[in-house]
Structure 1
Amino acid sequence: MANVLTIALNPAVDFSSRTQTVRPTRKTRVSGMRCDPGGGGINVARVISRLGGEAETLVLAGGEIGAILGRLIREEGIACHAMAIAGQTRIGFTVFEESTGLEYRFVPEGPAIGENELEPCLDLIDTHEAGFVVASGSLPAGVPDDTYATMAERAAARGAKFVLDTSGIGLKTVLEKTRVYLVKPSRGELEQYVGRRLDEEGIRQAAVAIVERGAAELVAVTMGDDGALLASTAGVLRLPAVHVRVRSAVGAGDSFLGAMIWALAEGRETERAFRLGVAAGAAAVMTPGTELCRREDVLSLAQRVG
């Protein structure tokens, strides 16, 4: 078994393309179509695989689109635990408008999940031997608010390090009910969690507070063009962004997390893993659509971090 198990409870098959101009009513002809398996946990596993590591991914998948999702994951060389659901796996669509440089992202809600469909996921966490369990992405409709907290407790019970990248009630419930190894909110997700806008000092204080009360050992906050911040019991590390030519913002956060977990699973020091995460986030925006980061770009940009 791989040392990293990633979880995507609300995955998607993501299509991305480009067009000159997006207009209402009239047909918008697109080109450069590509199709990728999507969802935070899947993207984290894709990045780990591209960097030379091994990860397995656990997904809820249903219908014809779910079958396509499983095939796309396997084509990337990633072992996939696809748990069957009655609903149809969702399809996401991204269009890059060449005339303005704007990107339009269409993200459906996804199917509702029953308790009987969620239980096999919890059973796998109990029995899988991965040292890192990474839950990334939104909670699907129908599951309890404390689903990620339950997963964190089950992973910890067998000695695994639980990593969380989510928002809203899923993030809030975990940080209030249990303890995780690493949590990675974006600036916006952290602001939503604390209930107010945050300047840089506010971000620092909020991240440190999470560590000090024992909710997370590490808090990595991604801040887009402003870089990232890592809070731990050792202190706070603040890194600026690596400025590159932006082609798409899709998957930057997932690439950051994937690179950081890959490095930690390989036994790298926390600071080194954080720097690789910043490099991977920058590398991701250099690629179009849902392509994510490339290994050669990550390693090259890592020399420029900080």
Structure 2
Amino acid sequence: MKTITTLTINPSLDKSTHFAGLIAEQKIRCGKPRYDAGGGGINVSKAIAKLGGVSKCIFTVGGSSGELLEELITKEGLQSELIRTKSWTRENFIAFDSETQSQYRFGFPGNELSPAERDEILQKVNTLQTDYLVISGSLNEGLATDFYQQIAQIAKASNIKVVVDTSGEPLKKVLEAGVYLIKPNIGELAKLIGVERLELPEVEKAAKQLIENKSAEIVVVSLGADGAILVSHDETHFVKAPKVEKKSTVGAGDSMVGGMVWALSQNKTLKEVIQMGVACGSAATMNEGTQLFKVEDVMRLLKEI
């Protein structure tokens, strides 16, 4: 079994609740809030734990919101390593309207990190001993867009397989370092190869372009409700998403990454890797709020897939 480490530079304390009817200028009565530890890498570690795997979860933490985040991670039983920051950990807010069945997601930016805090993150990566490093989520305000690229270069020098799930300029930059696996959606893939849009039949060719450029060894393209395509140098696998009753999309992408990295660590075939990823991502949409998936749902969906 191979070892996994996740890195979350910009984690969040996620607060979710229910309300009935959104009316401007009126006080909206909400249900009792639920608190969850959030942020890309943290969610990936939670997903891996749900599947019976183990990962080390490295994340920044600061202020009283950070203390609650730390407490939630401890309750989850995750192996963790903290990077203390002067700035408070950000909070996100998710609200579900029971009248319209609509979900509203409010994400706040992460506060700036000091130069010393940035150096501590890079130093931690420099001393890592792991087979896979999952870099997931957004960057804090003020961080250079090549920060993930710097991390990937350090990790690659130690022969660590780098898995990246981010978007925009940070994703573009990190591909200059060349990583093991990326998970763009079809719109992000189009931007990466410099076209306005891609149709489904064009996805494999576009992904192969990134592989030939040595940007990534494996490209997994998320197609939302249609499923996902995994492309490597020698293989292509399309997995159609099973039909489920969708309640929330929060954490679906992170669940997918967690499922895939867990399968990779278990030496599964690439076909099994994408099947597990789609099963975990689909199962996550069956639950409200930010609680990811139930393992029994994953196992049932895997049989359908």
Measured against the shorter chain, the TM-score band is over 0.9
Identify the residue that residue 26 of structure 1 maps to in structure 2: 26
Q: Which amino acid aligns with 1:191?
A: A
Measured in 1, the distance between the counterparts of 2:93 and 2:118 equals 26
Alignment deviations for residues 59-93 of structure 1 (CA, whole Å, 9 cap, x no partner): 11111111111111111011221111121111101
Aligned to 1:183: 182
- Which amino acid is the alignment partner of residue 190 of structure 1? L
Query: 8 Å contact 1:228–1:238 — kept in the other structure?
Result: yes
Counterparts of residues 57-206 of structure 1 (less than 5 Å): 57-175=57-175, 177-193=176-192, 194-206=194-206
2 CA distance for matches of 1:69 and 1:188? Answer: 32
Q: Residue 52 of structure 1 corresponds to which residue in structure 2? A: 52
Contact 1:18–1:31, Cα closer than 8 Å, also in 2 = yes
TM-score using structure 1 length: 0.95
How far off is 1:195 after superposition?
A: 4.8
Question: Secondary structure of the equivalent of 2:116?
Answer: helix
Q: Quote how far apart the aligned CAs of 1:275 are.
A: 0.4
1:187, 1:30 → 2: CA distance? 36
The alpha-carbon deviation at position 204 of structure 1 amounts to 2.4
Partner of 1:261: 261
1:223 paired with 2:223, answer: yes
User: What RMSD, in angstroms, separates the aligned Cα atoms of the two structures?
Assistant: 1.3
The count of corresponding residues between Structure 1 and Structure 2 is 303
Please give the per-residue CA displacement for 1:86-144, whole angstroms capped at 9, x wherever unaligned: 21111101011112121100001120122211111111112221110000001111222
Deviates most, 115-124 or 285-294: 115-124
User: Which stretch of structure 1 is more off in the superposition, 112-121 or 215-224?
Assistant: 112-121
Normalised to the residue count of structure 2, the TM-score between the two structures is 0.96
Separation in 2, partners of 1:143, 1:182: 23
Partner of 2:11: 11
Give the Cα separation in 2 of the matches to 1:31 and 1:198: 42
- C-alpha distance after superposition, 1:224-259 (max 9, x if no partner): 111101110113211111110011011110000000
Which amino acid is the alignment partner of residue 266 of structure 1? Q
State the match for 1:289 in structure 2. 289
Tell me the alpha carbon deviations over residues 183-209 of structure 1, each in whole angstroms, 9 at most, x when there is no partner.
Answer: 111223323433512211233222111
Tell me the alpha carbon deviations over residues 141-174 of structure 1, each in whole angstroms, 9 at most, x when there is no partner: 1222211111111111111100000001100001
Q: Secondary structure at the match of 2:110?
A: coil
Contact in 1 for aligned 2:44/2:254 (Cα 8 Å) = yes
Segments of 4+ moved more than 6 angstroms: none
8 A contact 2:110–2:139 mirrored in 1: no
Q: Is the Cα–Cα contact under 8 Å of residues 70 and 80 in structure 1 kept in the other structure?
A: no
For residues 195 and 139 of structure 1, the distance between their equivalents in structure 2, rounded to whole angstroms, comes to 25
Q: What is the DSSP-based 3-state SS (H/G/I as helix, E as strand, rest coil) of the residue aligned with 1:271?
A: helix
Shift, 1:32, TM fit: 5.1
2:239/2:274 contact within 8 Å kept: no
1:7-32 per-residue CA deviation (whole Å, 9 max, x = no partner) reads: 11111000111122122221111225
Looking at structure 2, the residues matched to 85 and 44 of structure 1 have their Cα atoms a distance apart, in angstroms, of 22
Q: Aligned equivalents of 1:26 and 1:82: distance in 2?
A: 41
